Chains A and B, each alone.
Chain A
Amino acid sequence: MSHLWNLVKKELRELLTPSSLISVIVVVILFISLGSFMGGETKDVTSLKPIGYVNLAADTGGENYAQIGIDNLIKYYQDCEYDPAEYVVPLVITSYGTDSFNSDLYNMMVEKDVDTAIVIMPDFNSNLNDATMKRGSISVYWNQKGLGIFSSIGSVTSDTAISIMDRAISDKILQVKAPGMTDDERAIALAPCASSSYATYLKGTIHEGVTPDQIYGAMSQQTMFVPIIIMLVIVMIGSIVISSMGNEKENKTLETLLTLPVNRTTIVAGKLIGSTIAGLIMGAMYMVGMYFYINGLSVSGSNISMSDLGLSLSVMDWLIVALFMFLAITCALGICMILGAMAKNFKAAQMYIMPISILAVIPMFVTMFSSIDSLPGIAQAFMFAIPFTHPMTVVQNLMFGNTLWIVGGAVYLVIFALVTFYATVKIYNSDVLITGMSFKGRRKRPSEDENEDIIE
């Protein structure tokens, strides 16, 4: 036991160095700052934006539809608890019909700090008041300031404004043109179809007043957060372990270790336990950073809790998630130690990081953008065979009660971990660990250089 602990301490000292921890801490800080930045940007996208208006519509003596529309717009912002003086900004421009109108409007938008402006055309009221009724026209102007996903203005603000004005103007038109209609009748005429109720079935249970989007919003942490964390931890710890193996071989510290009076199983177990602890520590650190990042991205606006949907996890469920994480890291390290053992030196070891990264990225993308259930049978079998699929899907499987995947996954991971552990011990007892493995292809006679490389 003391030999094992000595080896575990050595692994931890090697893996949890200030330089490796600093790089993780920097990434975590980056995630946290990115999360708060994204949070600000996404909040910005979903909130109401100021809008400027230029009312050129002449008062033709009939109904002042332009003003009715503007008044309703002001009321809407008031109802949404926005100060209309700040958010519905009148832009006074007298140069309409001259060459300077466009530049005057731009200058006014910059001065009043509005990115969207609507110009209600001079014939707006006359068109609507005319016996041969025509549509009132409105021109829309945007001031694009940035090119980021979240800095794009889009047409939401102007579309919203126009639809709010539409509603009030339509109501007035109906009052004028169909004076016999009651207020309720006019409301029905304006929106004859109404979605009386909506519901979503989840695990066979109906949830009234809940849309699939709201469910996705509530679950976005599980569908995005867990796979990304697991992928990051596996790639990072894989890269550290394979590089450390390459270094040990290059520096011949491994040769020294293997000639000590300690059996190979203890050496392998020491490496595995030490690396797993380091992996879990780094994973926990990433989890904190990623939590802030994903929280910043979440724009669902859903106030539905997981327990409302019957999707909350019990303490036992979280222990199962932790077990899956532990098993996945052990499997990853087993694969890495086999790959690392085959590398002759540090440089060769770098090449072997690729297969483990691919194995981690495939299930991450599948679980983030689709679901395993929707894949054809052969693809499902392929996904099942990748050990990292199971920790990435375990939260969803627990929520949806996919017992077969949970039990099957756990058994598979245990078997996979044991097989890789056994294979690693075998390799540690073989020449491959010292001589490395060449994938240059079998030839009848090795070259002189290759001979010298093997025989020293």
Chain B
Amino acid sequence: MDALAVNDVHKVFKETEAVKGITFNVREGEIFGLIGPNGAGKTTTLRMISTLLDISSGTITVYGKDVKTESEEVRKMISYLPEDAGAYKDLTGRAYLDFMAEFFAQGEEKKAMVEKGVAIAKLGDRIDSKIDTYSKGMKRRLLIARAIMFDPKLAIMDEVTSGLDVANAFEVREIIRNIAKSGTSVIISSHNMFEVELLCERVAMINKGEIVLEGTPKELLQRFDAKNLEEVFMKVVRG
């Protein structure tokens, strides 16, 4: 069974069609990249998968559950990390993880979940400092820990390393590889083609609301005789 199946999905905002009939799937335990320029419709697609936005037409299923009609079931399996997401600044890192864990477990199970989150975040003593005092990289690590500490079946991450320095971005990519190894399927969006090439097993290119290309990075590089995905993308867009 596919972890995620997006089938002929459209999204219309008033007079604007933001997503125009896209179709793709994410396999179990796979890291899938959705790439494209700003305003292409990547975030809108991820928000529809995450049950945040209504689907105008088409279907999205997560492990066979329909996002539109079984949204509560879907939310039990997914974890969404928005681009530039923040956390409640008056809480400490640990209190934030504890607040989030409460929605998934109780008692000892919750404690274990929080400890797992603390270990993923790797913030040391600073886990007990207020989030307001964290750097961008620390905040991002905490949010990733929050997103994966409960072992979601599908992790949805929007521009996951956006704004991070090299070391922090490297660490974040390592975390994503590790969760995929442990069985979580991951869909990430990015306009950083280099990162996607490094991380993803398969990618879909989206432009002006349409999927223009899909395949493994290796296949795409061969098909377009390009050195990197950036070159592939430019060739596709320019025709």
Contact = CB atoms under 8 A, between A and B. Distances in A.
Contact of A444 (B15, B72, B79, B84): B15
A446 B106 CA distance: 48
Contact of A255 (B13, B82, B89, B106): B82
Given A2-B106, A255-B85, A455-B209, A446 B41 contact: no
Given A259-B50, A260-B75, A263-B72, A253 B87 contact: yes
Interface secondary structure of B, over-half rule: loop
Given A251-B85, A252-B84, A451-B39, A261 B52 contact: no
Interface string A40-58: 0000000000000000000
B16 A258 contact: no
Given A13-B91, A456-B42, A255 B52 contact: yes
B16 A455 contact: yes
A454 B52 contact: no
Interface residues of B, number: 44
Contacts of B104: 261
Contacts of A197: none
Nearest to B86: A251
Nearest to A433: B52
Interface string B44-60: 10010011111000000
Among A10, A250, A256, A451, residue most surrounded by chain B Cβ atoms (within 10 Å): A256
Contact of B75 (A251, A255, A259): A259
Given A2-B102, A3-B103, A255-B52, A435 B13 contact: yes
B72 to A, nearest CB: 6
A184 interface: no
B99 A6 contact: yes
B78 interface: yes
Interface in B85-112: 85-91, 99-100, 102-104, 106
Contacts of A251: 85-87, 89
Contacts of A456: 38-39, 41-44, 83
B100 A260 contact: yes
Contacts of B193: none
A3 B102 contact: yes
Contacts of B90: 13-14, 17
A172 to B, nearest CB: 79
Contacts of B19: 455
Query: Which of the listed residues A258, A259, A445, A454 has the most CB atoms from chain B within 10 Å of its own CB?
Result: A259
Interface of B: 13-16, 18-19, 38-44, 47, 50-54, 72, 75-76, 78-91, 99-100, 102-104, 106, 146, 209
18 contacts: A2-B102, A9-B99, A10-B88, A14-B88, A14-B90, A250-B86, A251-B85, A251-B89, A252-B86, A256-B80, A259-B78, A260-B75, A431-B13, A431-B54, A445-B15, A455-B13, A455-B18, A456-B83
Q: Give the top 9 A-B pairs by smallest Cβ distance, nearest first.
A: A251-B86, A456-B43, A455-B18, A452-B39, A259-B80, A252-B82, A252-B85, A261-B76, A6-B102
Given A13-B90, A261-B75, A455-B16, 19 more contacts: A13-B88, A251-B86, A252-B86, A253-B87, A255-B47, A256-B81, A256-B82, A259-B50, A259-B52, A260-B75, A261-B103, A261-B104, A262-B103, A444-B15, A446-B16, A452-B39, A455-B43, A456-B41, A456-B44
